[in-house]
């Protein structure tokens, strides 16, 4: 009985170590680190009583808006920026 086992040539196994892959990986990593740092600084410098509004993306790629007002304890979520603006206007109208 003869086992016929073949391995990939060495050049095929080094696809992920190419300079193009490394550059793209480093670029994505630096963008991620920059994003984390910016989020940290924003939270550190934010006024705890200030209205907080942010955008989120769900696992299906849908974008929606969320807001929280620490002064009143009210929160709101909407799929449109227009609805969010209307909620904020109503919140501060009274």
**Could you tell me the pTM of the whole model?**
0.53
Domain boundaries, the chain: 11-45, 48-94
Under 8 Å between Cβ of 79 and 66:
no
What tens digit of pLDDT does each residue of 2-12 get? 545 454 454 44
What tens digit of pLDDT does each residue of 21-59 get? 555 556 666 777 888 888 888 778 877 888 989 999 999
């Amino acid at each position: 009985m003869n086992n016929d086992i073949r391995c990939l040539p060495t050049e095929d196994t080094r696809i992920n170590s190419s300079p193009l892959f490394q550059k793209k990986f480093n670029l994505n990593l630096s963008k991620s680190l920059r994003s984390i740092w910016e989020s940290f600084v924003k939270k550190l410098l934010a006024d705890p009583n200030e209205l907080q509004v942010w955008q989120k993306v769900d696992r299906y790629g849908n974008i929606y808006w969320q807001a929280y007002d620490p002064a009143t304890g009210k929160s709101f979520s909407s799929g449109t920026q227009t609805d969010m603006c209307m909620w904020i206007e109503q919140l501060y109208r009274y």
